[in-house]
Amino acid sequence: MQFELTDIQEDMQKAARKFAEKDFDSDLALELDREGKFPKSLFEKACQLGFVGIDYPEEFGGQALGLLDSVLVTEEFCKKDSGIGTSIGLGDLASGMMMRHGSEGQKKSYLVPVTQGKAINTVAVMDPLEGPAKAEATDSGYVLNGKKAFVINGSIANTLVVFCEVHPAPDPKSVRSIALIVDKSQEGVKVLERKKMMGLWMVSVNGISFDRVQVPKDRVLGGADKGAEVLNSFFIEQRIKSAAQAVGIAQGAFTKAVKQSNDREQFGRKISQFQGIQFMFADLYTQIEAARNLVYRAAYSYDTKSSDLERMSSVAKIFATDMAVKAALDSIQIHGGGGLMREYSIERMFRDVKTIQNLIETNLVARASLGKSVSS
């Protein structure tokens, strides 16, 4: 097993770091977070520079690299700023599914505009308490009715992949699942009230309702009755991406904590000289390195279609996000009262990574899935 990055990967990592250091302005990040605005201009620039869609095939605007390469970019972005980095990463939430399960026409229609910075796509998975969205099969396609809850970037996305039940089912006791590609501009699609989250304030989360939305057959992703398979592939990929976001944030929090410990003095000594602080840093460094290696291993498993992919995606997500929450909390402790102030980025890093830990799939769900897998 090779533990070193290739020259191409190192160059991509350096380019992502240079872009983030130059363009992710801290004052801009604070303003975007406070106002709840998506970093649109930075997303567009990241697309133009080839960072978004790095793992897309070349014929669809990408560079034909792998998820590991995408993970390296995500880590650098989130290390510099948790909100901007994660927001850019969530701008093409549905693309992985389209690459793995989409037709050539679907890929051309929906991936190319993303790489050009002209479109954002997302996924509508969660159902509200009143019940799931349903698609009624017709001769020409499907008619979609109902609501979806907690749709990431629901207010700004151009395209949604909507997971819903199909009716009528051949067996009344069975539930058929399907993934439908829906343009938000279609008649009958309505964006509902934005939900206020603990963190990731740059990312809008909305409910979306569908009132007799016509979806033609060529907008079915992965084929009829393949919704569960498509959804599972989405969760696997997003666990790895969420874990990469967490590692980047943890590294950023760690770096800020080390700097603060060398700037701050107590009892006539820099606090970095106290053994208790050194123990804290030793533990954090160890945990960040362990998480990073797990994330890289999971991304490698994804790129090589390894048989342990599903387990490794859960392992990486659980360990990395749990670790990053602790890293952000420890950084707050080392910063003292300053770590609680909104004008600094430390408290935002904690809010953002805690949200990442639970946003797409909670770690409790990931643990349940992993536990069932390894005990069977």
Q: What is the pLDDT of residues 311-356, one digit of tens each?
A: 999 999 999 999 999 999 999 999 998 888 888 889 999 999 999 9
Of all residues in the chain, the percent with pLDDT exceeding 70 is 98
Which residues constitute the domain of residue 66?
7-115
Neighbours of 304 (CB within 10 A): 11
End residue of a domain, out of 78, 97, 115? 115
Domain finish residue from 225, 249, 279 = 225
pLDDT digits (tens, 9 = 90+) for 181-204: 999 999 999 999 999 999 999 999
CB 270 within 8 A of CB 262: yes
Angle in degrees, 0-180, between the axes of helices 275-303 and 309-335, rounded to the nearest 10: 150
Q: Is residue 2 part of a domain?
A: no
What is the pLDDT, as a whole number, of residue 106? 97
Report, as an integer, the average pLDDT of 126-141.
93
Q: What is the mean pLDDT of residues 162-180?
A: 78
Q: How many structural domains compose the chain?
A: 3
Asked if 273 and 352 sit in the same domain, the reply is yes
Is the pLDDT at 173 greater than 90? The verdict is no
- Flag whether 156 is in a domain: yes
Q: Is residue 163 part of a domain?
A: yes
CATH of the domain at 93: 1.10.540.10
CB 300 within 8 A of CB 294: no
Same domain, 186 and 244: no
Q: Is 111 inside any structural domain? A: yes
Query: Looking at residue 3, what is its pLDDT?
Result: 79
Asked if residue 13 is part of any domain, the answer here is: yes
pTM for the full predicted model: 0.95
- Shared domain for 296 and 340, answered yes or no, is yes
pLDDT at 96 over 90: yes
DSSP 117: T
Rounded to 10 deg, the angle between the 363-375 and 309-335 helix axes is 140
Model pLDDT, residue 172: 55
Domain edge (last residue) among 197, 225, 253? 225
Same domain, 221 and 233: no
pLDDT, tens only, 221-268: 998 888 999 999 999 999 999 999 999 999 999 999 999 999 988 899
**Domain co-membership, 95 together with 132:** no
**Mean of the per-residue pLDDT values of the chain:** 95
Contact yes or no for 52/92 (Cβ under 8 A) = yes
Q: Is residue 179 a part of any domain in this protein?
A: yes
Asked, for residue 338, whether it belongs to a domain, the answer is yes
203 and 291 both lie in a single domain: no
Residue 86 lies inside a defined structural domain of this protein? yes
